[in-house]
């Protein structure tokens, strides 16, 4: 009964390809997030959705497009992958309503060759 | 502006000795404060959080942190390190004025090594 799950765990692909990472949470949370962690472990928020509505959109190339079909899912689609996109991508969720503990998925390690 | 500074990028201790990971924050408003841990090749796990209740917060795995407003600090401590504590630790701040903005401010992390 995994709380926040991501697929795939590892993703190796060529430059220029389009790929998606899926995230699902079964915690009943209202808010979901995508983070990028670079090779120096720096964690940077990319997007946040609350009840399928975008509430945080950091300065992220528009090659990155989040999609939230329902509040339990927040998928990340990346077009025209570049070498610099190689990183670990974490999905997270939080209850919302001022309760801010975020629960993280196991991460997806993306390698662009 | 809000920010968080983890004062040490690397800390090395011997097994059985105390752990101190330092964190200072800057916030115009009373913040919520968190410590997360990331074990090698794993996701992030919440260790503990402070949300304006008791200033000494106890977390999992024997860790605790004390909120000191006068020093704008939230240092993480553990009396006796265990080999399994070796990981990356992140101090995180969320200013309470943020309203519906659930954006957290993350420190750059402190890598804890535990030597036998």
For the stretch B70-73, contacts whose Cβ atoms lie closer than 8 Å and that sit 24 or more positions apart, written own/partner, are B71/B24, B72/B24, B72/B25, B72/B26, B72/B27, B73/B22, B73/B23, B73/B24, B73/B25
Looking at the complex, report in whole angstroms how far the Cα of residue A65 sits from the nearest Cα belonging to chain B.
19
Is A102 near chain B, with CB under 8 Å? yes
Looking at the complex, report in whole angstroms how far the Cα of residue B93 sits from the nearest Cα belonging to chain A.
10
- What is the pLDDT tens value at each position of chain B, 116 positions in all? 678 999 999 999 999 999 999 999 987 677 889 999 999 878 899 999 998 778 899 999 999 999 998 999 999 999 999 999 999 999 998 876 655 455 788 899 999 999 99
């Amino acid at each position: 009964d995994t709380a926040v799950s991501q697929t795939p765990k590892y993703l190796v692909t060529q430059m220029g390809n389009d790929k998606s990472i899926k995230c699902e949470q079964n915690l009943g949370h209202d808010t979901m997030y995508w983070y990028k962690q670079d090779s120096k472990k720096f964690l940077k928020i990319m997007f946040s959705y609350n009840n399928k509505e975008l509430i945080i959109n950091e300065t992220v190339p528009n090659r990155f497009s989040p999609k939230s079909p329902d509040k339990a899912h927040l998928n990340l689609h990346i077009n025209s992958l570049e070498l610099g996109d190689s990183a670990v991508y974490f999905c997270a969720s939080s209850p919302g309503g001022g309760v801010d503990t975020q629960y993280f998925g196991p991460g997806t390690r993306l390698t662009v060759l | 502006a809000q920010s968080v500074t983890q004062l040490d990028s690397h800390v090395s201790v011997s097994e059985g000795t105390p752990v101190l990971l330092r964190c200072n924050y800057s916030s115009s408003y009373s913040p919520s404060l968190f410590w997360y841990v990331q074990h090698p090749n794993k996701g992030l796990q919440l260790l503990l959080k402070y949300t304006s209740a008791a200033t000494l917060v106890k977390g999992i795995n024997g860790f605790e942190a004390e909120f000191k407003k006068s020093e704008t600090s939230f240092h993480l401590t553990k009396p006796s390190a265990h080999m399994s504590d070796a990981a990356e630790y992140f101090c995180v701040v969320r200013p309470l004025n943020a309203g519906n903005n659930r954006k957290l401010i993350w420190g750059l992390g402190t890598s804890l090594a535990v030597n036998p």
